[in-house]
Amino acid sequence: MSDQQRTACVALPTFRNDILNGIALCAGVGGLELGLHIAEPGYRTVCYVEREAFAAATLVARMEDEALDKAPLWSDVTTFDGQPWRGKVHILTGGYPCQPFSLAGRRRGENDPRHLWPQIKRIIGELDPEWCFFENVEGHMSLGADTVFRELRELGFTVKAGLFSALETGASQIRRRLFIVAHADKVPILHSDRVGAGELPVQDEGRCLSGGFTIWDRQGGTALDADLAADESMRCSADEAFQLPLFPPAPSQFERWAPILDVRPDLQPELFGLDNGLADRMDRSDAAGNGVVSLAAAYAWRTLKNAHLSLL
For the annotated catalytic residues, the residue numbers are 98
Percentages helix, strand, coil for the chain (3-state, rounded to 5) are 35, 15, 50
Contact indicator for 132, 64 with CB cutoff of 8 Å: no
> CA-based angle 298:301:304, to the nearest 5?
145
Query: In terms of Cα–Cα distance, which of 301, 91, 93, 312 is closest to 204?
Result: 301
* Cα 84 to Cα 182: distance, rounded to the nearest angstrom: 22
User: Vertex 20, ends 88 and 205: CA angle to 5°?
Assistant: 135
Look at the chain and count its residues. Answer: 312
Q: Return the number of other C-beta atoms located less than 10 Å from residue 142's C-beta.
A: 11
H-state helical runs in the chain = 3-11, 31-39, 53-64, 117-127, 145-154, 254-263, 279-290, 294-309
CA end-to-end distance (rounded Å), the chain: 5
